[in-house]
Amino acid sequence: MRRPRRSEDFREFSRVKRFSESEVRFLETKGTDIALIFPNTYRVAASSLSFSLVRDIFWENGLGVERFFYEPSFKKFYSLENLRPLDEFRIWAFIVQFEPDVLNLLKILEIKSVPVKRDERGENHPKILIGGPITYFNPEIFKPIADYIYCGDLETHAKELVLFLKGLVPAEEIPSLMVPQLKENCKVAKFDINLRPPVGTILSPEGEFKEKLLIEIGRGCIRRCSFCMIGHLQKPARFLRIETLKRVLEKIPEDVPLGLISATVTDYPWLEDLLKLLEGRHFSVSSMRMDGLTLDLLKLLKKSGQKTFTVAPEAGSQKIRDILKKDISEEHVESSLKIGRKAGFDRIKMYFIYGVPGEDENDLRAIADLCEMAKKMGYKVKASLNPLIPKPGTAIKGKRMEDVKALREKEKFLKNLLKSIGVSFEFESIKNAYLQYKIANMTEKEITAYLEVAEKFSPSELLKSLAAY
Ligand code: SF4
């Protein structure tokens, strides 16, 4: 590794080095076959198990892989593994997890002077491979950009994909691989996670699960909430069998804290056995449903150091919960709040959705009422409020998102209500939510038109282009 001479490159180099040195890695990968790029900040990338999982899967199948992330000030892009500049890599594989990351991907190509349109690139440019959650529902938007698009779970065809990248297997042999203009369709791959348990190999002090080893105990969801992509696109739900998990845990030292990832841990079929396995370990969970909470689970979470009880009632009123097909009753909400207190939690974070068709002032007031109820039970309450975003593949696909003006009024109304009862809150930016909606639903034609005219890959330019289209 050579230190850069120019001061701005050195600043960038030092920043990546700091993150690199903060990681504890149980597996080292070497080589410059493939750059794995998460087009978002290190903090967001470190919250995603796929950032290490995809690296490990490529490595197991014979590719030297190093990870990269994005910051707007970056020019060179250095790898986390060996601080190598991105230019040294001939294949750039992007994991696109969130819709706005599509813009970051374009910005990275622009910064590196790589034409964003595939047909403007030549032999000397890197090959662009795109995968990640967006390929489950809208791989079309990558068609003008990518050389290759992999749809769905990488584990399913990792071996064949690596052979394809080495020129040893034709694209036709990989049903989940799209090669624009040559092979235009792909079947979303779904993998039985018991065949290769998804366990992280990197501990990072950044990210949502600070310094926890991530284990995905369930992929997909058995429910079908109307707005949720996991519930609709990730069927059937696949759970890591308890005996498989037991074998996994036997290899992880007891003092390594765990982050268990699943759409809803409370739907894990062997929950009681899981709790026995976790006795004495530090762990946290990604998500729990209010109808499946048990005192044992919450007590164990509390004992293992979790400070905040986090749940998603989604709405204050039963009417809106029913519209969202959340399948949670008033009784579930009330009893889970009580169980949380019994388990010793005095802080709660609740997620809500607003901007739902059919919603009226009473439904918005019901959000504040629920927060107030939790407050009266002795909780310090934080409400997280997010506009409803209709996305492809869900039960509300094709529906229009509520317009920005109406959302802003509702946001203001809710803020005043929550302030008046002393509840702290965070609102997802309406602009960001609208951007997600637009990108999630974007067609190949629309993105092609956008790439034609775009001067800057900024959210406002993209929204302007879509409005004009
Ligand atoms: S919102 Fe949660 S419970 Fe509902 S389908 Fe999605 S992941 Fe499952």
Instruction: List pLDDT tens digits, range 82-132.
Output: 999 999 999 999 999 999 999 999 999 999 999 999 999 999 999 999 999
Among 5-9, 149-153, 433-437, the least confident range: 5-9
Ligand 1 centroid distance, CA of 407 (Å): 23
Are 313 and 231 found together in one domain?
Answer: yes
Q: Token pair for residue 354? A: 């607003």
Does residue 324 line the site of ligand 1, with CB under 6 A? Answer: no
Ligand 1 centroid distance, CA of 310 (Å): 14
Average pLDDT of the residues in 131-148: 96
Q: Token pair for residue 315? A: 């709405």
Residue nearest to atom 5 of ligand 1 (CA): 231
Residue 468 has pLDDT above 80, yes or no: no
Tell me, yes or no, whether 201 lies in a domain: no
Does residue 228 line the site of ligand 1, with CB under 6 A? Answer: yes
Summary mean pLDDT of the chain = 95
Are 383 and 236 found together in one domain?
Answer: yes
Give the total number of structural domains in the chain. 2
Does residue 139 line the site of ligand 1, with CB under 6 A? Answer: no
Average pLDDT of the residues in 174-196: 95
Does residue 221 line the site of ligand 1, with CB under 6 A? Answer: yes
Look up the CATH number of the domain holding residue 60. Answer: 3.40.50
The predicted pLDDT at position 240 comes to: 98
Would you tell me how many other CB atoms lie within 10 Å of the CB of residue 319?
Answer: 16
Model pLDDT for residues 257-273, shown as the tens digit of each residue: 999 999 999 999 999 99
The predicted pLDDT at position 469 comes to: 55
Average pLDDT of the residues in 280-297: 92
Q: What is the rounded distance in angstroms from the CA atom of residue 290 to the CA atom of residue 283? A: 19
Cα→Cα distances 328→94, 293, 324, Å: 37, 12, 10
Domain containing residue 57: 7-178
Are 399 and 263 found together in one domain?
Answer: yes
Share of the chain above pLDDT 90, in %: 90
Residue reference for tokens 């622009």: 110
- 221-239 core/surface letters (b: 16 or more CB in 10 A; e: else): bebebbbbbbbbbbeebbb
Are 284 and 418 found together in one domain?
Answer: yes
Average pLDDT of the residues in 216-237: 94
Are 321 and 274 found together in one domain?
Answer: yes
The predicted pLDDT at position 187 comes to: 96
Q: What is the rounded distance in angstroms from the CA atom of residue 271 to the CA atom of residue 276? A: 9
Does residue 231 line the site of ligand 1, with CB under 6 A? Answer: yes
Model pLDDT for residues 11-44, shown as the tens digit of each residue: 999 999 999 999 999 999 888 899 999 999 999 9
Residue reference for tokens 């989604």: 314
Instruction: Give the nearest ligand 1 atom to 267 CA.
Output: 3
Look up the CATH number of the domain holding residue 221. Answer: 3.20.20.70
The predicted pLDDT at position 226 comes to: 97
Ligand 1 centroid distance, CA of 409 (Å): 28
Q: Do residues 177 and 183 make contact, with C-beta atoms less than 8 angstroms apart?
A: yes
Ligand 1 centroid distance, CA of 240 (Å): 18
Tell me, yes or no, whether 452 lies in a domain: no
In this structure, the chain runs to a length of 469
Residue 172 has pLDDT above 60, yes or no: yes
Q: Do residues 209 and 47 make contact, with C-beta atoms less than 8 angstroms apart?
A: yes
Q: How confident is the model at residue 208 (pLDDT cuts 50, 70, 90)?
A: confident
Ligand 1 centroid distance, CA of 231 (Å): 5
The predicted pLDDT at position 31 comes to: 86
Across the strands, what pairs with 426?
384
Among 49-58, 104-113, 189-198, 201-210, the least confident range: 201-210
The predicted pLDDT at position 466 comes to: 77
Query: If you compute the radius of gyration of the chain from its CA atoms, what whole number of angstroms results?
Result: 23
Are 216 and 170 found together in one domain?
Answer: no
What's the pTM value of the predicted model, to 2 decimals?
Answer: 0.94
Are 241 and 367 found together in one domain?
Answer: yes
Average pLDDT of the residues in 193-210: 94
Residue 305 has pLDDT above 90, yes or no: no
Are 109 and 154 found together in one domain?
Answer: yes
Ligand 1 centroid distance, CA of 150 (Å): 25
